[in-house]
């Protein structure tokens, strides 16, 4: 089963990656600001300045590290570049239209699970990094392909 042409935009890739990161780590981002807010009310108003520093300096730097760590990964390049995807028994084969890129195979064991969103289908990969994923546009993943991808994940584990 082959998906003839699939790629997501870089903005779409990073938006979904940041949403996954924020959904998992929202407490660690809200907690320092909330603690500083409570300390500002109870102890000293200058803790508002500390809360603003955390909010406007520390948190954007964390998101910048996320961008550099995951945004420049090979999986991000695979998602963004134009390719055809073949879903077979052994896994996925990515055949890129750019001649500088080689064919790449993703084994069925390397796909942990699938997240289906309105605009993308996210294949979470086993690479040792938590948010490593291959994203395919939902417009090219018809129900037959989605069913085959689900079977691929269940047979791989």
pLDDT at 156: 56
Q: What is the pLDDT of residues 66-92, one digit of tens each?
A: 899 998 999 999 999 999 999 888 889
- Overall fold of domain 2-8+73-156: PH-domain like (2.30.29)
Question: Which distant-in-sequence residues (6+ apart) come within 8 Å of 83 by Cβ?
Answer: 5, 6, 7, 94, 95, 96, 97, 101
CA dihedral sign, ordered 145, 136, 113, 94: positive
Instruction: Write the pLDDT tens digit of every residue in 22-37.
Output: 999 999 989 999 999 9
pLDDT at 143: 86
- Residue 5: the pLDDT is 85
Which parts of the chain sit beneath pLDDT 70? Answer: 155-157
C-alpha distances in Å from residue 82, one per residue of 42, 57, 135, 136, 152: 55, 35, 12, 10, 22
Q: Would you call 35 helix, strand, or coil by DSSP?
A: helix
Where, residue-wise, is CATH 2.30.29 in the chain?
A: 2-8+73-156
pTM of this prediction? 0.85
Instruction: List the one residue out of 129, 130, 128, 93 whose CA is nearest residue 108.
Output: 93
Q: What pLDDT shows up at residue 3?
A: 85
């Amino acid at each position: 089963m082959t998906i003839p042409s699939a790629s997501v935009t870089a903005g779409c890739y990073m938006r979904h990656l940041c949403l996954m990161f924020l959904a998992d780590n929202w407490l660690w981002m809200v907690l320092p600001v909330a603690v500083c807010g409570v300390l500002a009310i109870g102890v000293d108003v200058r803790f508002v300045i500390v809360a603003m520093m955390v909010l406007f300096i520390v948190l954007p730097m964390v998101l910048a590290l996320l961008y550099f760590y995951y945004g420049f990964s090979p999986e991000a390049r695979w998602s963004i570049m134009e390719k055809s995807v073949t879903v077979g028994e052994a896994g996925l084969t990515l055949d890129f239209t750019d001649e500088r890129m080689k064919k790449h195979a993703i084994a069925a064991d390397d796909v942990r699970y699938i997240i289906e969103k309105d605009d993308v289908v996210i294949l979470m990969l086993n690479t040792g990094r938590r948010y490593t994923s291959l994203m395919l546009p939902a417009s090219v993943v018809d129900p037959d392909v989605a069913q085959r991808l689900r079977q691929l994940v269940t047979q791989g584990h």
